[in-house]
Amino acid sequence: MGKTNLPSEKEDTAMIVISMFVREATNSDLFSLEVLRISDPVQMKSKKENEYLTKLYFEETVRINEDGRYKVSLPWKRDHLPLPSNKDIAMKRLEISTRKLHH
């Protein structure tokens, strides 16, 4: 078959994802460095310091249960941004996939 001038499916999906993200963000969020995960280097801890704190946390939380197995709490990051909800994007993808299967 010959080449068509129709946009590819990947481009459509990318535009949906971008439009969903922008729709959820406010104007001030679009220019916020925290949203882009850019932070002041002075505020960032060094890698060695993070490793030290993680090891210390491990040593404080490691336990041996009644079966003789080790139990350790996970070292969660404290100041991370909450994960966005992708439900709208997933629902849109489901709708498009369902529509394609019916045709």
In-domain check, residue 45: yes
* Domain ranges, residue 17: 13-75
In-domain check, residue 32: yes
**Residues in Cβ contact with 63 at an 8 Å cutoff, skipping those fewer than 6 apart:** 70, 71, 72
Q: Does residue 101 have a pLDDT over 90?
A: yes
**pTM for this model (two decimals):** 0.35
In-domain check, residue 46: yes
More confident residue, 51 or 47: 51
In-domain check, residue 69: yes
Query: Residues 68-82: what's their mean pLDDT?
Result: 84
In-domain check, residue 103: no
Q: How many structural domains compose the chain?
A: 1
pLDDT band at 103 (very low <50, low <70, confident <90, very high): confident
pLDDT tens digits, residue range 2-43? 566 655 555 566 666 566 555 566 666 666 666 666 666 655
In-domain check, residue 20: yes
